[in-house]
C-alpha cells in the first residue's frame, strides 16, 4: 500500500493536488501528510510521477489479494492477469466485430463506475451488478472482465464479502441482455442509482440493421431518459475469431 514517511514529509501539501480521490490528509498537529487508507485506491500515480519533492511517498508490499486486485484495477498501466488487458482489465465490447460477444437481438451493457474522480467501493459495484442480474442481464464471465473474479456465482452478481470495503479508482460492470429486456434493466439501474455513494455512466452496445437503424432504444423515451447523442461506431471490418 501507499504510505507517507513522516521523517521525510515537510507538510507542503503538494501531493493533495494530484490525488483524484483526496486520499492525502494533512494532520494539523503534526504538520505532516498521511494517507487515508480507506480512500486510497493504490493507483500509484503519485509514485510513478514522483510528485513528492522529498520522496516521502513510499510503497509497502501488497500482501493481501484484495489490495493487489485494487491496485491492478486502479493503475492504468497494470496488466490484469486473467484478461491480459491493461487498465481496468477489460476491452468491454469495443472489438465486437472480432469477438462477436453481442449478437443481433442483444444489448451490451457497460457500466463505468467511479469516474471521473469519485472512486468506487466494491460494495457499491456489487449493488449495481446484483441489480443488473436481477433485471435480466447476463453478466460477463471472468475471462472478459476482472470484476467477475470476485463473484462466486455470476448469475447473481454478488461479490465475496471480504472485498466490500476496498476503494477503486473505477471499475466496470458489464454483460448483456435481450432487446426486449432493456426497459426492465434500465428501470433497475434507475433504482440502484439512488442506493449507491458514487457515480456511473452507462454504455449500451446495440447492433443496428442494414440501414443503420434500431428500435431497441425506444424504451428510453418511455422512461424519460435522454437518447444518447454521441457514441463509438464499430463498422464491422474485423473478422470473428470463429472465422479466422
Distance of CA 138 to CAs 4, 76, 116, 185, Å?
A: 43, 27, 26, 11
125-160 residue pLDDT tens: 999 999 999 999 999 999 999 999 999 999 999 999
pTM of the model: 0.90
43-88 residue pLDDT tens: 999 999 999 999 999 999 988 899 999 999 999 888 888 888 887 8
The CA angle 235-85-198, to the nearest 5 degrees, is 90
Task: Say what the pLDDT of residue 241 is.
Answer: 52
* Percent of the chain at pLDDT exceeding 90: 71
Task: Say what the pLDDT of residue 210 is.
Answer: 82
Task: Say what the pLDDT of residue 240 is.
Answer: 60
Task: Say what the pLDDT of residue 160 is.
Answer: 98
Has residue 13 got a pLDDT over 60? yes
Task: Say what the pLDDT of residue 51 is.
Answer: 94
Contacts of 233 (CB under 8 A, 6+ apart): none
Chain centroid to CA 202: 11
Band of pLDDT at residue 99, cut at 50, 70 and 90: confident
Residue in 65, 83, 85 with CA at minimum distance from that of residue 75 = 85
The CA angle 210-212-214, to the nearest 5 degrees, is 100
Has residue 244 got a pLDDT over 60? no
* Percent of the chain at pLDDT exceeding 70: 98
Mean pLDDT of 29-35: 95
Whole-angstrom Cα distance, residue 204 to residue 125?
Answer: 18
Phi first, then psi, for residue 130 (nearest 5°) are -70, -35
95's grid cell: 472489438
Task: Say what the pLDDT of residue 39 is.
Answer: 94
Task: Say what the pLDDT of residue 166 is.
Answer: 96
Residue in 33, 36, 30, 26 with CA at minimum distance from that of residue 1 = 36
Three-state DSSP string of the chain? CEEECCCCCCCCCHHHHCCCCCCEEEECCCCEEEECCCCCCCCCHHHHCCCCCCCCEEECCCCCHHHHHHHHHHCCCCECCCCCCECCCCCCCCCHHHHCCCCCCEEEEEEEECCCCCCEEHHHHHHHHHHHHHCCCEECCCCCCHHHHHCCCCCCCCCCHHHCCCEECCEEEEEEEEHHHHHHHHHHHHHHCCCCCCCEEEEEEECCCCCCCCCCCHHHHHCCCCCCCCCCCCCCCCCCHHHC
What domains are defined for the chain? 2-61 (3.30.70.20), 77-229 (no CATH)
Average pLDDT along the chain: 91
Whole-angstrom Cα distance, residue 168 to residue 149?
Answer: 15
Q: Which of 35-39, 113-117, 144-148 has the lowest mean pLDDT?
A: 113-117
Has residue 239 got a pLDDT over 70? no
Amino acid at each position: 500500500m501507499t504510505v507517507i514517511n513522516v521523517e521525510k514529509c515537510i507538510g507542503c501539501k503538494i501531493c493533495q493536488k494530484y490525488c483524484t480521490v483526496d486520499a492525502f490528509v494533512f494532520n494539523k498537529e503534526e504538520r505532516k501528510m498521511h494517507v487515508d487508507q480507506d480512500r486510497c485506491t493504490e493507483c500509484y500515480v503519485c509514485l510513478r510521477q514522483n510528485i513528492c519533492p522529498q520522496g516521502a511517498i513510499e510503497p509497502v508490499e501488497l500482501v493481501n489479494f484484495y489490495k493487489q486486485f485494487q491496485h491492478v484495477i486502479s493503475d492504468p498501466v497494470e496488466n490484469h492477469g486473467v484478461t491480459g488487458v491493461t487498465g481496468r482489465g477489460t476491452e468491454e465490447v469495443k472489438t465486437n466485430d472480432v469477438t462477436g460477444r453481442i449478437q443481433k437481438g442483444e444489448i451490451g451493457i457497460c457500466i463505468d463506475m467511479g469516474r471521473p474522480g469519485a472512486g468506487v467501493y466494491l460494495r457499491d459495484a456489487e449493488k449495481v451488478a446484483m441489480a443488473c442480474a436481477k433485471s435480466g442481464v447476463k453478466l460477463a464471465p471472468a475471462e472478459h472482465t476482472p470484476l467477475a473474479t470476485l463473484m462466486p456465482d455470476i448469475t447473481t452478481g454478488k461479490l465475496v464479502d471480504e472485498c466490500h470495503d476496498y476503494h477503486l479508482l473505477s471499475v466496470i460492470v458489464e454483460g448483456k441482455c435481450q432487446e426486449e429486456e432493456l426497459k426492465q434493466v434500465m428501470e433497475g439501474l434507475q433504482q440502484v442509482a439512488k442506493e449507491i455513494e458514487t457515480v456511473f455512466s452507462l454504455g449500451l452496445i446495440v447492433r443496428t440493421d442494414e440501414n443503420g437503424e434500431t428500435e431497441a432504444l425506444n424504451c428510453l423515451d418511455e422512461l424519460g431518459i435522454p437518447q444518447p447523442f454521441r457514441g463509438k461506431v464499430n463498422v464491422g471490418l474485423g473478422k470473428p475469431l470463429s472465422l479466422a
